[in-house]
A = this chain, B = another copy of it.
Amino acid sequence: MANKKNNYQFEDLLDKHQLKKTSSRLRVLSMLASKNVATSQPDLEGVLGDVDRVTLYRILNAFEEKGIIHKVFDLSGTANYAMCSSDCEENHHHDEHLHFNCTVCKNVYCLDDQHLPGVVVPEGFKTEAVSIYATGLCPKCNKKSTAA
């Protein structure tokens, strides 16, 4: 899996972006990399336990600025965070993302590798980034609902 990185790789990642290698940061990275769905700040806070809320926000913001992670809002407007695919660079994220928010389990799936169609905006608008957001049933919940 492209996003699967071991701890040395996380340290390199922090080095590369001139971020200090603290245990909190490494834990956030391995946490996010281990999931194929975006994670909300509250969820992260719950898992990380003893990391301060504020620190977590600051870590997430720093990572986002550096292009290590990206932020996506779920159906209820809460920010969720996920690792960027490798071709994201500082302040220059991959232009198009496909996110899928399951209406049952509420998970936000990042489907960055999916082919996306070009989007045409009206004359006068200048597009910098496009994100496509689908809602519905994820494979897991879809299976359950058809089985029932």
Question: A residues near B, CB below 8 A?
Answer: 73, 77-79, 98, 100, 103, 109, 111, 114-139, 142-143
Does B118 lie within 8 Å of A138, measured CB to CB? no
Closest to A71 in B: B77
Copies of this chain in the oligomer: 2
Cα A132 to Cα B116 with chains together (Å): 11
Which B residues are in CB contact (< 8 Å) with A134? 119, 121, 125, 127-131
- Given A130-B133, A134-B130, decide whether A117 and B114 contact each other with a Cβ distance below 8 A: no
Which B residues are in CB contact (< 8 Å) with A78? 77
Cα A133 to Cα B103 with chains together (Å): 19
Does A130 lie within 8 Å of B132, measured CB to CB? yes
Which B residues are in CB contact (< 8 Å) with A109? 125
Which B residues are in CB contact (< 8 Å) with A111? 121-122
